Structure 1
């Protein structure tokens, strides 16, 4: 093997290492896609915004009062946020039944992102 072959093999190995590390970097793309799809659904960001600023507890009707969201949509989004572990749901055995939603740490950790997004929107008058 000549010097040229040795250089080409070294370049191939380096390129292969870069590709492997790039693939490692994007592990979990499916999970990220699911999260971004959830965040892009109608009213999800509004609901998250409420919980970022006040983690709760919130009752369903309280959320309906502060959000302009239909009952069915709010119910669906809350279920999706529960499934994504962004909210918890506590039901109480009372009459009438009482259900409360709270933000999880996973959701409250989004606070800096919302703050930066709000600052960006104000800067560009959105």
Structure 2
């Protein structure tokens, strides 16, 4: 096992840790990945309703970035009106154990935070 994920003298952006952060960085990216993992396939408006606090434009930008990073698949159906669905790619699905560990950690540590307040 490595001593550190960010060795001394190496820029954070040049590490695996930095790369992972660059993919999921942002207020909504992990939330979008979560909803897609839970529902398998979702349309833009379904995601917007599920998240609630995201604007149409921000969701569009986040989905485009996730697609460019190979984490989300955008499937467009040629029909009137147009139908577009989003799902996790294999690469996006590979992040789910990380998100699940974050969930488990959060649940285990919520009580500790209550004592601090």
TM-score by length of structure 2 reads: 0.74
Partners of 1:34 and 1:80 in 2: how far apart?
14
Cross-structure match for 1:66: 50
Cross-structure match for 2:62: 77
Partners of 2:66 and 2:101 in 1: how far apart?
22
Partners of 1:51 and 1:94 in 2: how far apart?
23
CA distance 1:30–1:117, change in 2 (3 Å) = closer
Kindly report structure 1 stretches of 4+ aligned residues shifted beyond 4 Å.
none
Could you tell me which runs of 5 or more consecutive residues in structure 1 were left unpaired when the two chains were aligned.
Answer: 1-21
CA distance 1:116–1:31, change in 2 (3 Å) = closer
Could you tell me which runs of 5 or more consecutive residues in structure 2 were left unpaired when the two chains were aligned.
Answer: 1-6
Cross-structure match for 1:6: none
Partners of 2:38 and 2:102 in 1: how far apart?
14
Cross-structure match for 1:123: 108
Larger Rg: 1
* Alpha-carbon contact 1:82-1:88 (below 8 Å) kept: yes
Which structure's residues are more often helix, by fraction?
A: 1
RMSD of equivalent CA atoms: 2.3
* Alpha-carbon contact 2:36-2:86 (below 8 Å) kept: no
Partners of 2:22 and 2:71 in 1: how far apart?
14
Alignment coverage as a number of residue pairs: 100
